[in-house]
Each structure stands twice: as structure tokens, then as C-alpha cells.
Chains A and B, each alone.
Chain A
Amino acid sequence: MTNHWVDIKNANVIVIMGGNAAEAHPCGFKWVTEAKAHNKARLIVVDPRFTRSAAVSDYYAPIRSGSDIAFLGGMINYLLTHDKIQHEYVKKYSDATFLVHGDYDFGDGLFSGYDEETRSYDKTSWSYQKGADGFVLADETLQNPRCVFNLMKQHYSRYTPEMVSRITGTPKEQFLHVCEMIAETAAPNKTTTFLYALGWTQHSIGSQNIRTMAMIQILLGNMGMAGGGINALRGHSNIQGLTDLGLLSNTLPGYMTLAGEKEQDFGTFLASRALKPLRPGQMSYWQNYPKFHISLMKSWYGDAATRENNWCYDWLPKLDKVYDVLQVFEMMHQGKMNGYFAQGFNPLASFPNKAKIGAALARLKYLVVIDPLATETSEFWKNFGEFNDVDPSGIQTEVFRLPSTCFAEEEGSLVSSSRVMQWHYKGADAPGEARNDAEIMAGLFLRLREMYKQEGGAFPDAILNTAWPYRIPDNPSPEELAKELNGKALTDLLDPKDPARVLVKAGEQLASFAQLRDDGSTASGCWIFSGAWSQAGNLMERRDNSDPSGLGNTLNWAYAWPANRRIIYNRASCDPSGKPWDPKRKVVGWDGSKWAGNDIPDFSLDSPPEAGMGPFIMNPEGVARLFAVDKMAEGPFPEHYEPFETPIDTNPLHPRVVSNPAARVFKGDMEAFGKAAEFPYVGTTYRLTEHFHYWTKHAKLNAILQPEQFVEIGEDLAKAKGISAGDRIKVSSNRGHIVAVAVVTKRIRMLDVDGRKVHTVGIPIHWGFKGVAKNGYLANTLTPFVGDANTQTPEFKSFLVNIEKA
């Protein structure tokens, strides 16, 4: 979230689209009801299902799963044609005025630079025009036809209300009503907030769903404002933290990235990430990249990391491509992987096409499952009848199952969706011999290190030199690790302006990432967490919930990264002269000598408004991007592409380019996509308020609340198929089938899409063959093996199924 849970109460309009906060995030949703009750906010829900969020909304509009970009693109068109944008904000705080490369073009579903062979783009033309001084050219009058604003206007002019309705199935009047409600918040002192979750990410166009909404928030002037922002409601208690810590194939802690194999030169590696400002007077905060990177290397390698060896740059593995889970399971399925670890993760249930995942695991030499619970993955080799019909004797994978502690039995910090790092404490010992994940990792690492020390082996350097300064080496404590994450001074840090003055003494914890240096004198395991455990102690355990501003920022409750800031980009909550757009909801402001207010300013504290520094300091532009330049795989402006399994067999905008042309599809998977003729209904997976993924089926109370697997179908479809509520039905896709009880409901309605009647089948995901609930099928038996072109997040929200009475 750019903002935070409590801040939702400050919104004027709340849009829940691509999520269902009332059921999936109930205690956060209370801030929606708070906004409705005390801020006269109105709630809009756009969803294929009339969810419980919709049940308490002021306005609900149905939409076909997978057509959100058409809806939101139509909204951009509405805002531009009705002149409902925050003009000064758009002009000063976005790249609307920037001129785009002369070769950039879009036509018939494709942007300039497409290569059909590789299913990818040459992005050279997806860039700005630059002047002789190296800075980007801009037209403050917005008259130049090549400025971002005009290209955007042209791009979305195709998204007429009629076209939107034809693609999404949302009745035109309902679509327009939603536009009108949101357009009101183009007023500088009004905000809309968007709440979304997997309903937007789990599509082959997931990232662009979110970008389209982000563009709307820029056009409305809602970023940085209290009650505004882009609010991803994340799915696990520390999924934010693990993302922050870079536990993804291609990243390092603090949103730094691993090098590609072509990046052999350390200087070039750093220079390409330490981006210089694209416009005069801009901050471009990533210019500090070398400080963050080198401090990380000092945390990982200690004295072994020196300027002479480029701080051990060669030791880091280099990428030839991203090894995301779809890529990895594709390799595993081909027999190219030997070992795999699932730490608190249930891939057999979580990844698409269960049959392929199970077959892939069966080709491993060894599988290690580290979990508090007996997961399906740990018993993928065991026969559970119709739910997992395998022959153990034919599966040669050696499987280790290691018991880990659960939350109640350990200490440490978790990052909530609000970016708030909260410390928790141990309440009891774990059952039996269960161990904490850190202890298990240490046990493995120290054994390996000893083996490499004794026997040698492939490239032992990084293993032998990993800094391991923990008091009990085989059980590093949460305190030690949290302090390492924060970072410390390795030598006395002197004030550059007054070398006689010591800013931080050697060995002391740093107060913030602003103190990090690129000369090896500081260490920090994750720069954005710096400040959380400073010399003042563990700020993540603070419990002062006072809220003097009334905005709900509670600056002394725990610690929010970065820098304890609760609303990021908050400089944009003020006009160019430094006065809040809405004085009643002042986040920060210029007081004549510095920036200050009810949050930590996201800005250079002493940069006066007249200096003209833009509020989006992480971008080299200094402003927000309506034009994504080369950052996205499938285009600088989001374009509607159909799901890979589309119920309408075409794309009404450009029939020759139906689905995402830049999405990666493996050989064999394209053939495994179903066609509407055979599988006419849209399948979509979702979660229930009584269950959490595949965990709570192991908890008795939750199993009692929702004991048995079901699927949800609309009344029209039930009637057409002769299905009554309570019947058992078989749901099939081109990859397999599940059998479940039918719930016949008014909540899912038939939609008219491109002249066809489209029905949706709702598939809750929470059952499996382990647990105390009634055994059921893993829902991912049905889902397709394709992901978003940028993130490779699988398309679980929109695929094709057929149903019949079982």
C-alpha cells in the first residue's frame, strides 16, 4: 500500500476492484465502513460476483473476469473527454508534458518494435525525446501531438462506453455511473482510493491492470494524498516483508536487483541502476544505489568484501533469465531440476495445473518440505484416491519433511500491507522437535560450509566467506538478524562538512538509510528497513497508538518503512507552492523553511517549492509516469488483451491480437489451453472469509465453518444445465476436473459480452487431501500454466471450464 489500512477512512470514494476486502481482509475492511460512516464516503465494487464487499457498497457493477483494462481504459477516456482531471497535478507531477520518441507507435493491437518470433518487444522507441543537454523535452502547453498527454488521449479514444460494455459485459449505464462517481474526485481536495488484491494480479495482464488504475490515480491527483493512493491488499502476513527482502528470483533486498550475466562490469552494473535525473533539479533517489548495494555486500561478506574485489560482485549469481516458479516447474517437468525446497509453501496446491506440478515433483531427486503443517506437497507421492491418484512405488523422489515453528512459537517482525513492521513475541514452545526456520537454515548452511571446508568443491568462496557473526552460530537470534537488517557503522562515520565531527561511532546502529555510504564503512542487510532498530532500540515494538492529527498515521506505533513514513509520495499532497491540496487532510507542507507535518515528508526536507523538485523522487523524471517507457513487457500504455482462455474467441479491439502478445507460453502449454467451443464458461478462483488459503482446513473451527468443497454458479446456468443447489457437479478444464457441491446463487450473473451470453463459475480454493475439513480436490487441477508477462503471476482468475452433473 502507498497509504495504509487506517488511512482508508480518509477517502471520499473507495473502489474495490480485483479484490474482496470484506471477506479476504475483514479487519482492514472496517476502515471502509468507518469512511462510509464518518466521512460520507461512497463505496463502489466492480466484480464478477456480488461479493460481501458488494453487499455493503453504495454501487455495484458486474464485470467479466479478465476485462478490467477495458473498464479502466474506458474510465481514462471518460475522464479525458469530460475534462475531469486534476489539471495542475497532471501538468506538474506527471510526465504528461514529456515528448515521446518519434518512432513510438501503436496499431492493430501491437506497439512499435514487436518480434513475433520471440514474443517480445524491442523497446527502443518506448522512450522520451531528449535535448542536447541530455534532459527530456517537454511541452508545457500540452499542444505537441507527441506529448504523453496527447498520445494517451489518442490511445484510449478507442475505449468508448459502447466498446467497454461490449468487452466487459458491464451494462453501459452502470459503467458510466461508476465513471461519474469517481470523476468527482478530480477536485483537488477530494480523493478516491483503490483497494485491490489477487483479482487484479492473477491475470496474464495483471501488472497492466494495476498500472491502468495508477494512471487514473495520477489523472485524479490522488497519489500522496490522505485517503488516496494505490492500495494492494496483500495475501500473507509477511508477503510484503519477503518481497522487501528480495526473496524472488531476480531481486536483492530493498528492491535492488541481481545482475544479468551480460553485466560483467561492476561499474556499469551500478551506473545502470544509479539513475541520473531526466529533468533539471530532480532528486532521483536511486542515485544512492551504490550505498545500498555495497552496504548489503558488507552485511553478507564482512571483511571479505573490499573495494579491490568490487565488494564480491562476482560472487553473486548472474541471471540469464528469470527463474520464476512457472519457469522452474517447467524445467522440473523436463527433468532438469534435482532438488527443491518448500519452506512454508504448498506448491502442489498453489501453482497452476496440479497434474503438471505433481509430475514435476516426481522427477526430483530430493524434495525438502519445511512447514508447521502436513501439506499436500509433502505427500504428493501418496495415493489419496480421486484427489491424488498416484502410485508411490513409481515415484523415486526422496522427500524430507522438517517441522517448523508457527507464529505463536517464535519472535520477530512481520511487515503488514501498510508497510508497518511489527514485532511479535513467543507465547509457547513448539510441539515435539519443531524448529524455527532460521535455525533450520543455519543448520543446513553450517553443515554445507563444513563439508566445503573439509572436502572442497564447486566455487566455495561465497560459502566460506559468508559473514556469520551470530553468538550461537546454529541458531541466530531474531534480535541479531533485525539489527543486521537495520545496519551499523563499521568505522566512525565523519560529517563530510566537518570531518572533526563523528556522526555515528563505529559499531553503532544507524538511524536511517540516509547514513549509508558506498565506501565500505557501513553495513545494512536491507536498506529500506534501516531505522527500524536504531541506536534507540527496537522501534518495531513501539506501542503508542496516539493519533494527534486524527488522520490515523500513529507515527509512534511500530515502524513503517521507509523512514517510518506512513503515506509515501506525500509531497504530492501539496500544490507546487507547498500548500496542501486539502487543508483539512494535511499530510505534510512547506512551513517557509522546511517540509513538515503529520507524516515523515517523502522529500528533501530543505528543498523549497520554488526549486521545482518533483514529488516522485524515486523516478529519475521526478514525476509520475503515465507513459511507462520501457518498464513493462507489453507496452507503455496498458492495452486490453483477452485471457489466454477467452470465452469470446476474439478481442473486439483488434481480432488479430487476442491475448497478451508478450506473455511467455511454454511449448505444450499453448496446446493445453481450452477453447470456448468445448469449455464455454469462465472459471475464476477465489477465497472465503472463513478460510485462509490451504492452512485453515487444518484448524477445527474453520473446518466446521466451511467443511466441504463447493463451487458457485448463477441461476441461469443452473437452470440451463438442470442443476439444483446441493447437487454434485463436475467442473472440467482442458487440464483436469474437480467434483464439488453446487451452490446456486443470484450473486453470479450472466453477462452479455460481444454478442454472447457468458456465464461464470466461481471456484473457492480451500480444499485438498490433507486437513481436518472434508477432503476435496485441489482447485489448481483446473488452472492454466501461463502468467503475467512481467511478473509471471499465474492466470488463476480467468480460464475456461465446462460443468455437468456428477
Chain B
Amino acid sequence: MQVSRRQFFKICAAGVSSSSLAVMGFSPGTALAEAREFKLSRATETRNTCPYCSVGCGILMYSLGDTSKNAKSEIIHIEGDPDHPVNRGTLCPKGAGLLDFIHSPNRLKYPEVREAGSNEWKRISWDAALTRIARHMKADRDKNFVARTDDGLTVNRWLTTGFLAASAASNESGYLTHKVVRNLGILAVDNQARV
């Protein structure tokens, strides 16, 4: 079927999205004068997985920036991955808002501390934050670690600090988290599967 560029836009205006028409093979003929390119055609496409529920929908993220070292990428559009066997290009109302999660004004940008009794956050460096936390941990662990019980059982556990692990983190982060917390002797470990 031959469709001119003008007819093509008319069909689109009738309420069908241009992308689905294109999928069906109704691409318009080449235009002699282009107004402008689709933004996405110059964007970088990156494949990812929706971080919300566990359907595991494939998504395509489009970012501006050519991925060179000094060019800062910014994600400008996200849509379902049409090749994905489960979601086949669709996204639900949750996933359709992913761009606004990435760019939420409530994204945290810097390590902060709220001192005891204070009513405000104070920005600190990563090194200061991690060192202070590690100091807290060591002090608590050294004081409360149970190597042996009173009746002589070897237990090597640390019960006064606990850890909740993130069910939206990758397997690789989750595994490293497990490796660290268990080897400190922590037993109060859980992830969202508990609730």
C-alpha cells in the first residue's frame, strides 16, 4: 500500500499512533523536505529491565549524548522493548512513568548525615560517611560480638546490628552484600521477600 507523507499524517491524526502504523508496514514514502528528524533517531538506545514488579519487562532507554567520555548522557525517553517475549513492547502505568523516577526531584545526590537530636541534614563526603559508619560498626561489633555462648558453643554472631537488602538491586550487588554482611557475623538480614 502506497501512502504519501500527507496521507500518513492524516491517518495518524485519526488516532492511531505512527509507530504502530510503521510496524504494520504503512511507512510513508520518502519526503523531499524534512521538517526535522525524530529525536530518538539520534539518541543512544540502551536495553534495560523495568525495576518495578517481577514481570521483568524489557525496556529501551534513549539518551542524549554520544557516550564519549566527556559527554554527559541524559535519558530522555523510555519505552517497552518490542522484541521482549514477555511484554512485547508494552509497559503498564507504573513502567510508563519510569522516566520520572529517574529524574525525580527526590533523587539523592550526596551523602548526608543527620546528627543525634538535630533537625537537619548536613552534606558530607563519601569518605567521611563511610569512615564514620565503619567506626560505628566496628565499635558495636567489637563490644557485642558473640564468639562463643556461655555453654561453649562456637557461634560467631553479631546480633546488635541488622541489615535490610534491596530487592531491586542486581544479583551482583545482592551477592556482594551477602558476602560482606555474613562475614561480619550479621544474622538480622532480610530483604523484601520477608514482607
Q: Does A151 contact B (CB under 8 A)?
A: no
Report yes or no: A325 in contact with B107, Cβ–Cβ below 8 A.
Answer: no
What 0/1 pattern do residues 402 to 424 of A give for CB contact below 8 A with B? 11101111111111111011101
Report yes or no: A374 in contact with B106, Cβ–Cβ below 8 A.
Answer: yes
- Among the 9-residue stretches B7-15, B16-24, B32-40, B123-131, the one with 4 or more Cβ atoms under 8 Å from chain A is B123-131
Residues of A within 8 A of B174 (CB): 238, 241-242, 245, 247
Residues of B within 8 A of A337 (CB): 159-162, 188
Please give the distance in Å from A378's CB to the nearest CB on chain B.
8
Residues of A within 8 A of B121 (CB): 401
Report yes or no: B106 in contact with A27, Cβ–Cβ below 8 A.
Answer: no
Please give the distance in Å from A767's CB to the nearest CB on chain B.
14
Report yes or no: A236 in contact with B53, Cβ–Cβ below 8 A.
Answer: yes
Residues of A within 8 A of B180 (CB): 441-442, 444-445, 466
Please, how many residues of chain A have a CB less than 8 angstroms from a CB on the other chain?
166
- Distance A462 CA – B55 CA, assembled complex (angstroms): 38
- Distance A25 CA – B138 CA, assembled complex (angstroms): 43
In the complex, which residues 1-48 of chain A have their Cβ closer than 8 Å to any Cβ of chain B?
Answer: 5-6, 24-28, 30-31
Residues of A within 8 A of B50 (CB): 237, 407
Report yes or no: A420 in contact with B56, Cβ–Cβ below 8 A.
Answer: yes
Q: Does B66 contact A (CB under 8 A)?
A: no
In the complex, which residues 33-85 of chain B have their Cβ closer than 8 Å to any Cβ of chain A?
Answer: 44, 46-58, 61, 63, 65, 72-75, 80, 83-85
Residues of B within 8 A of A669 (CB): none
12 further contact pairs, Cβ within 8 A, besides A238-B171, A338-B144: A248-B190, A317-B156, A341-B162, A341-B163, A393-B117, A395-B116, A416-B86, A427-B48, A428-B73, A476-B172, A696-B52, A771-B106
Residues of B within 8 A of A353 (CB): none
Report yes or no: A338 in contact with B161, Cβ–Cβ below 8 A.
Answer: yes
What 0/1 pattern do residues 331 to 363 of A give for CB contact below 8 A with B? 110001111111111010011000000000000
Q: Does A203 contact B (CB under 8 A)?
A: no
- Distance A261 CA – B155 CA, assembled complex (angstroms): 6
- If the complex has contacts A239-B193, A441-B176, A690-B94, are A463 and B184 also in contact, measured as CB distance less than 8 A? yes
Residues of A within 8 A of B91 (CB): 27
Residues of B within 8 A of A345 (CB): 164-167, 191-192
Picked from A338, A351, A547, the residue with its CB within 8 Å of the CB of B160 is A338
Chain A CB within 10 A, most for which of B74, B87, B171, B188: B171
Please give the distance in Å from A298's CB to the nearest CB on chain B.
13
Q: Does A366 contact B (CB under 8 A)?
A: yes
Please give the distance in Å from A123's CB to the nearest CB on chain B.
23
Q: Does B97 contact A (CB under 8 A)?
A: yes
Report yes or no: B55 in contact with A25, Cβ–Cβ below 8 A.
Answer: yes
Q: Does B30 contact A (CB under 8 A)?
A: no
Please give the distance in Å from B76's CB to the nearest CB on chain A.
10
Report yes or no: A399 in contact with B106, Cβ–Cβ below 8 A.
Answer: no
Q: Does A666 contact B (CB under 8 A)?
A: no
Q: Does A384 contact B (CB under 8 A)?
A: no
> Total number of A-B contacts with CB less than 8 angstroms?
487
- Distance A403 CA – B123 CA, assembled complex (angstroms): 11
Picked from A316, A422, A458, the residue with its CB within 8 Å of the CB of B182 is A316
Residues of B within 8 A of A246 (CB): 178
- Among the 9-residue stretches A495-503, A737-745, A787-795, the one with 4 or more Cβ atoms under 8 Å from chain B is A787-795
Picked from B51, B119, B193, the residue with its CB within 8 Å of the CB of A406 is B51
Q: Does B2 contact A (CB under 8 A)?
A: no
Residues of A within 8 A of B108 (CB): 371-374, 401-404, 432, 434
The 4 closest A-B pairs by CB, nearest first: A344-B166, A432-B109, A416-B56, A412-B170
Residues of A within 8 A of B90 (CB): 27, 30
- Among the 9-residue stretches A75-83, A137-145, A480-488, A591-599, the one with 4 or more Cβ atoms under 8 Å from chain B is A480-488
Please give the distance in Å from B26's CB to the nearest CB on chain A.
24
Report yes or no: A689 in contact with B92, Cβ–Cβ below 8 A.
Answer: yes
Q: Does B173 contact A (CB under 8 A)?
A: yes
Q: Does A255 contact B (CB under 8 A)?
A: no
- Distance A440 CA – B163 CA, assembled complex (angstroms): 14
Please give the distance in Å from A331's CB to the nearest CB on chain B.
8
Residue in chain A with minimal CB distance to B154: A314
What 0/1 pattern do residues 136 to 168 of B give for CB contact below 8 A with A? 111011101101010001111111111111111
Q: Does A545 contact B (CB under 8 A)?
A: yes
What 0/1 pattern do residues 539 to 570 of A give for CB contact below 8 A with B? 00001010100001010010000000000000
Please give the distance in Å from A173's CB to the nearest CB on chain B.
35
Picked from A239, A249, A429, A434, the residue with its CB within 8 Å of the CB of B167 is A239
Q: Does A385 contact B (CB under 8 A)?
A: no
Q: Does A526 contact B (CB under 8 A)?
A: yes
Residues of B within 8 A of A451 (CB): 134-135, 138
Picked from B47, B98, B166, the residue with its CB within 8 Å of the CB of A424 is B47
Picked from B140, B155, B189, B193, the residue with its CB within 8 Å of the CB of A365 is B140
- Distance A692 CA – B113 CA, assembled complex (angstroms): 28
Residues of B within 8 A of A485 (CB): 171-172, 175
Report yes or no: B195 in contact with A350, Cβ–Cβ below 8 A.
Answer: yes
Residues of A within 8 A of B3 (CB): none
Report yes or no: A417 in contact with B117, Cβ–Cβ below 8 A.
Answer: no
- If the complex has contacts A407-B48, A412-B173, A438-B172, are A545 and B144 also in contact, measured as CB distance less than 8 A? no
Q: Does B185 contact A (CB under 8 A)?
A: yes
Q: Could you show 21 A-B contacts with beta carbons less than 8 Å apart?
A: A234-B53, A236-B52, A239-B54, A242-B191, A249-B188, A318-B156, A324-B194, A332-B162, A345-B191, A374-B106, A392-B117, A395-B116, A396-B117, A407-B48, A427-B63, A428-B73, A428-B74, A431-B109, A442-B176, A690-B94, A705-B93
